[in-house]
Every structure is written in C-alpha cells, then in structure tokens.
Amino acid sequence: MKKILIIGATSAIANACARHWVTQFENTQFFLVARNADKLAQIAADIATRGAIGVHSYVLNIADSNAHNSMLQEAILDLEHIDIALIAHGVLPDQTACEQDVSLAINEFTINATATISLLTLLARQLEAQRKGTLAVITSVAGDRGRVSNYLYASAKAAVSTFCEGLRARLFKVGVHVIDIRPGFVDTPMTAHLPLPAALVAKPDAVAKHIVTGIKRKHNVLYTPSFWFLIMFIIRSIPNFIFKKMKL
C-alpha cells in the first residue's frame, strides 16, 4: 500500500500524477489538499472511481502558513505515515503588476516560495521521524535564471530549489529522498493566456508520467520534459553582459 499526500491537488500536473499512481500501485491511499473545494471534491471522486482504496480531501489556503500544521496533523491521522508527499501548488504572477505594487509582489512570492518552504519544513520533520519516504516539490525551469519577463516568479522558484538542495543533503542521512521537479512550459490553465511556442509545450499527462518515473528512480533534480535540461544549460551559460540585454 502507498500513502500519498498531494498539496495543490487540483493542479493539472498533480491530478495527472494521482491518476498514474493509482495505476502504478495496487493499493493507494490519498490525502488531497487544495483551495478550491468544489474542484477538489471532483478530483477526489475521480481518483476513488479509478481504484484508490481511500481518498480524503482537505481545503486549505496555502498562503496561510498558520494552518499548515493542522493540515499535516490531519493527514497523519488519516494516512498514519506518508510514502510520497508532492507539493504542486503555485501561481504565475503578472511581472509588470508586481513591479508597481509591493504588496502584490510579496503576496505572490509568499505563495510560490514562503508557503512552500513552510510546508517543506513541516513535512521534513515528519519524514525524518519516519526515516523513510519521498518529498517531491514542483519548482520550475524559470528558477534557473532571473529573466526580465518573470524574475519575481523565477526568484521564488530559485529559493525553493536552493532550500531543497540543502534539505536533500540533510534528509539523505535518514533514508528520505527529496526531488526538485522543474517543468518547462506545460499546457495548463495557468499558462493558457501566454503566447508559448507550441513545440516546447508539454501535456500535463506526459509531464506527470515523467514525474512518477523520476520519483520511483530517486532523481535529485528532474527537468521535464528532459530537453529543458539542455535549454536551461544554454541559458545559464549566457554571459551577464549579454543576458541583461536580452528580452527573454
């Protein structure tokens, strides 16, 4: 039996991961967390229909870090332990609006970085006590470099990736694995309004399949689709005197 906690369970990628896990494991129990109660209920019902032996849903405003511990305590009461914890929440800020509004910039950073670090800290304590399990968090290829078009989002994701690197080294010593998942462009509601190059846009199901395989194989950092590793290697290699003139 696998016991899986998914935070941000209504995201297209997280939902697809849950469907893959139901197929991969003979018996799977889920604790699903998200902000939208109606959508969460629909996803929970779908996962149960697909064969999960137990699905518990929990409504949470991720930005409220004071509520994180209560959520985790209920998850432990329901699951007893956690085999896989996937943090998949996030928002794509309006960079221009954030440049003009400090409170908006801080709020967007809180959702993408501070709230995630809060959850990682609490989950790390739980998995450390268990001395087993996998802690997976979806960051972004955007965190590899601060581009002028989305540097608030990029800085939040970079903060989480750096936090994960240190956390991975800490938890490795007690048998817990931490995987930093860095998707590129994915066809989701969050990116629907963006003029993205079609050749670089992946479907959520394909990304989820890659994530599920990456967790199983204990990858440390997973670029998905894989070609983003090369793309970001090139972008990271551009000298600053050139990079600052580019409109990426």
In this predicted model, what pLDDT tens digit does every residue of 156-179 receive, in sequence order? 999 999 999 999 999 999 999 999
b/e 15-52 (16+ beta carbons within 10 angstroms → b): bbbbbbbbeebeebbbbbbbbeeeebeebbeebeeeeb
Quick one: how many helices (H) and strands (E) in the chain? 10, 7
Going from the N-terminus, what domains does the chain have, and what CATH number goes with each? Answer: 2-243 (3.40.50.720)
Residue 26 pLDDT > 90: no
Contact 84, 134 (CB under 8 A): yes
C-alpha distances in Å from residue 14, one per residue of 39, 63, 132, 167 = 13, 18, 22, 22
Residue 248 pLDDT > 90: no
Q: E strands within 24-158?
A: 28-34, 54-59, 84-87, 134-138
d(CA 76, CA 179): 21
55-84 average pLDDT score = 97
Average pLDDT, the chain: 96
Retrieve residue 91's tokens.
């928002």
206-215 average pLDDT score = 98
Q: How confident is the model at residue 247 (pLDDT cuts 50, 70, 90)?
A: confident
Q: How many CB atoms lie within 10 A of CB 100?
A: 9
pLDDT at 22: 96
d(CA 199, CA 194): 14
Residue 129 pLDDT > 80: yes
Closest CA to 184 of 243, 139, 141: 141
d(CA 2, CA 87): 17
pLDDT at 171: 98
Of all residues in the chain, the percent with pLDDT exceeding 90 is: 93
d(CA 235, CA 248): 10
Backbone angles phi, psi at 192, to 5 degrees: -60, -30
Closest CA to 88 of 208, 240, 202: 208
Of all residues in the chain, the percent with pLDDT exceeding 70 is: 100
What's the pTM? 0.95
71-88 average pLDDT score = 98
Active site residue 151: no
Q: Spot the catalytic one: 58, 151, 153, 223.
A: 153
